[in-house]
C-alpha cells in the first residue's frame, strides 16, 4: 500500500494519457461535465437525495478533496484522461481492498466529442497494467449497466470476463439500477493488457478491418 501514497503515476500511450487530477482542472471539468450532461446522466452513479449535475464549483472541489484523501489512504487511484494534452475525461480505480483480496473497481467517463477514437480502451489498458504490475493488485472489476453498450464494448474488447448481474447495485439517473460485473485478474494478462490491445489494433488494421473504436 505504500506505493499508493500520494497521486498515481503519469502514463502515456501515443496521444492518450493519464495524469493526476488537479484543483486547477476545475473550470475545464465543469465545462466538460455541463456540455456532456445528457451524454453522462444515464450511466453515472448519483446520490438519491441530491442532483448529479450542478452549476457551481463546489462539487468538484469536494470530489478532489475526497479523492486525494482516499489516495493517501491507499483506497483510490484517480486520474484525468487526456487526449493530445487536453482534458478528455476521468478514470478512477476505487474501492481498493488489500489483504488477501487485492481487488478494486474501475470507473470512467469520456467527453462525448472525443468518442470513437480509441481513447477509453487505451486509457483503461494503461490503468490496468499500472494496477497489476506497479501497485500490486490482483483483480479489477468494472460494473456497467446492461443498456450501456459503448462502455460494455470497451471492457469486452479488452478481454474482461462477464461474471453476472448485480441487482439494483447503484443509484443512477433517479433509480436503483442493475449492473453487469466484468472482471480481470493479473493471470489473464501475463504480458500486459496494453500490449494485447496494441496487437489487436495492429492485427485488425493489417486485415483491413480496423477495431471498432470507443
Which domains are assigned to the chain? 11-204 (3.40.630.30)
pLDDT per residue as tens digits for the range 57-75: 777 788 888 888 888 888 9
Q: Side by side, which strands form the sheet with 86-97?
A: 11-13, 16-20, 77-83, 86-97, 103-110, 139-144, 175-185, 161-172
pLDDT score of 9:
87
Q: What angle do CA 191, 212, 37 make, to 5 degrees?
A: 105
pLDDT score of 43:
83
Give every residue of the chain whose pLDDT is below 50, as ranges: 1-2, 5-6, 48-52
Would the CA dihedral through 202, 203, 207, 208 be positive or negative? negative
pLDDT score of 67:
86
- If we measure between CA atoms, which residue out of 39, 66, 65 comes closest to residue 53? 39
pLDDT score of 38:
87
The model's pTM: 0.89
Amino acid at each position: 500500500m505504500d506505493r499508493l501514497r500520494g497521486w498515481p503515476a503519469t502514463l502515456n500511450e501515443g496521444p492518450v494519457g493519464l495524469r493526476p487530477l488537479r484543483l486547477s482542472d476545475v473550470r475545464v471539468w465543469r465545462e466538460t461535465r455541463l456540455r456532456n450532461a445528457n451524454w453522462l446522466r444515464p450511466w453515472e452513479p448519483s446520490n438519491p437525495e441530491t442532483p448529479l449535475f450542478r452549476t457551481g464549483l463546489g462539487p468538484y472541489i469536494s470530489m478532489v478533496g475526497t479523492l486525494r484523501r482516499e489516495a493517501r489512504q491507499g483506497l483510490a487511484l484517480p486520474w484525468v484522461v487526456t487526449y493530445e494534452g487536453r482534458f478528455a475525461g476521468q478514470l478512477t480505480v476505487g474501492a481498493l481492498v488489500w489483504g488477501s483480496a487485492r481487488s478494486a473497481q474501475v470507473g470512467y467517463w469520456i467527453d462525448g466529442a472525443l468518442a470513437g477514437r480509441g481513447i477509453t480502451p487505451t486509457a483503461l489498458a494503461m490503468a490496468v497494467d499500472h494496477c497489476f504490475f506497479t501497485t500490486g493488485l490482483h483483480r479489477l472489476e468494472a460494473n456497467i449497466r446492461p443498456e450501456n453498450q459503448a462502455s460494455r464494448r470497451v471492457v469486452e474488447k479488452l478481454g474482461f470476463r462477464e461474471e453476472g448481474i448485480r441487482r439494483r447495485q447503484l443509484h443512477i439517473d433517479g433509480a436503483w439500477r442493475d449492473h453487469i460485473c466484468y472482471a480481470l485478474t493479473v493471470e489473464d494478462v501475463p504480458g500486459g493488457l496494453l500490449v494485447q490491445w496494441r496487437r489487436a489494433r495492429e492485427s485488425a488494421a493489417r486485415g483491413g478491418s480496423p477495431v471498432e473504436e470507443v
